[in-house]
């Protein structure tokens, strides 16, 4: 591997960037890939500790990405837009359908601090004792631990891709001491990787985590800027309940006007106002049944 000088920039407006040598180095051996993975994850660990990063929002957006990957693994063609619709446009009594269930599972997995009980909410079909046993299968350094959990679940339940990836990310979070699960593995792995075992699976996990750590650092910086913009315009909002609405935008990937704590017309006006102020975006491109997000 060849390394250049570190490229760290840190000031009041910018999160520290991933070192250039992590993103540009060519790694061929398991040892090299493991080293780069450790460096990338350590940098992500530092970024996740920064107060300006909207942690819940970042996790929820990563949950959408992980759900999209799991849906693709199952052979379905739905993308992020359909997954958002399946969850955020549900009416009372509606069933979310398979893709909605996948999206909900990941959202539940990231919503509460990592614990067997919280993971049981995300994976209600799996007994909590089984979840605990699978988590205990992971030993050693963080990525090795996650890969071992992934292998243990997929060996015992070959079709449980979603559960295996959630628990592997949970093991990674526990190893790093992160309070919440941060979805990283699913978007970085390929379908064929889930059939690998041993060192081949570990290598796939290392490679996946390098790319996703780099991408997540960039996304954290982008969301930090967007969240700062939303907080800056919040005092201009006069609608009753606007403060609670802003908090919803700061903690969730997407928000339907009907979910806001305002009357329907006021909620739509608030969303349009936030779009005009450059604080949120309309996510669907539709004239009706719109969703908004930072």
Q: Where are the domains of the chain?
A: 28-222, 237-293
Q: Domain 237-293: give its CATH code.
A: 1.10.10
Per 3-state DSSP, the chain is made up of helix, strand and coil in percentages (nearest 5) of 65, 0, 35
User: What whole-number distance in Å separates Cα of residue 259 and Cα of residue 255?
Assistant: 7
2 and 20 Cβ atoms separated by less than 8 Å: no
pLDDT in tens, the chain (294 residues): 433 333 333 343 568 888 888 877 777 788 999 999 999 999 999 999 999 999 999 999 999 999 999 999 999 999 999 999 999 999 888 999 999 999 999 999 999 999 999 999 999 999 999 999 999 999 999 999 999 999 999 999 999 999 999 999 999 999 999 999 999 999 999 999 999 999 999 999 999 999 999 999 999 999 999 999 999 999 999 888 999 999 999 999 999 999 999 999 999 999 999 999 999 999 999 999 999 999
Residue 13: the pLDDT is: 53
Record the tokens describing residue 293, joined without a space. Answer: 């997000």
46 in helix, strand or coil?
helix
Residue 14: the pLDDT is: 66
Nearest partner of 107 among 84, 78, 90, 127, judged by Cα: 84
Record the tokens describing residue 275, joined without a space. Answer: 């779009």
Measured CA to CA in angstroms, residue 75 lies from 71, 187, 190, 191, 219 at distances of 7, 15, 12, 10, 27
Cα 9 versus chain centre, distance: 24
Residue 239: the pLDDT is: 83
Q: Identify the helix (H) or strand (E) that includes residue 281.
A: strand 281-282
Q: Other CB atoms closer than 10 Å to residue 121's CB: what's the count?
A: 14
User: What whole-number distance in Å separates Cα of residue 69 and Cα of residue 234?
Assistant: 34
Nearest partner of 248 among 88, 83, 82, judged by Cα: 88
Residue 205: the pLDDT is: 97
* CB contact set of 101 (below 8 Å; sequence gap of 6+): none
């Amino acid at each position: 591997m060849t390394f250049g000088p570190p490229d760290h920039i840190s000031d009041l407006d910018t999160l520290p960037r991933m070192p250039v040598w992590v993103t540009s180095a060519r790694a061929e051996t398991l040892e090299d890939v493991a080293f780069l993975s450790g460096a990338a994850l350590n940098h992500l660990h530092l970024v996740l500790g920064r107060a300006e990063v909207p942690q819940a929002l970042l996790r929820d957006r990563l949950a959408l990405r992980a759900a999209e990957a799991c849906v693709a693994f199952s052979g379905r063609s739905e993308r992020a837009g359909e997954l958002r619709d399946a969850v955020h446009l549900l009416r009372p009594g509606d069933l979310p359908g398979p893709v909605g269930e996948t999206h909900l599972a990941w959202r539940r997995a990231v919503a509460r601090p990592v614990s067997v009980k919280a993971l049981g909410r995300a994976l209600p079909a799996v007994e909590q004792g089984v979840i605990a046993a699978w988590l205990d299968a992971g030993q050693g350094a963080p990525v090795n631990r996650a890969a071992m959990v992934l292998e243990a679940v997929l060996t015992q339940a070959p079709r449980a891709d979603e559960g295996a990836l959630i628990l592997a990310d949970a093991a990674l979070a526990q190893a790093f001491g992160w309070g919440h699960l941060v979805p990283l593995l699913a978007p970085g792995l390929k379908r064929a990787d889930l059939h690998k075992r041993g060192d081949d699976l570990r290598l796939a996990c290392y490679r996946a985590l390098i790319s996703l750590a780099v991408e997540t650092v960039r996304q954290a910086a982008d969301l930090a800027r967007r969240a700062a913009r939303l907080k800056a315009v919040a005092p201009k909002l006069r609608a009753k309940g606007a403060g609670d609405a802003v908090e919803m935008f700061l903690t969730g990937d997407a928000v339907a006007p009907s979910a806001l704590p305002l009357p329907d017309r006021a909620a739509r006006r608030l969303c349009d106002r936030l779009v005009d102020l450059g604080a949120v975006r309309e996510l669907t491109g539709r004239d009706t049944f719109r969703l908004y997000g930072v």
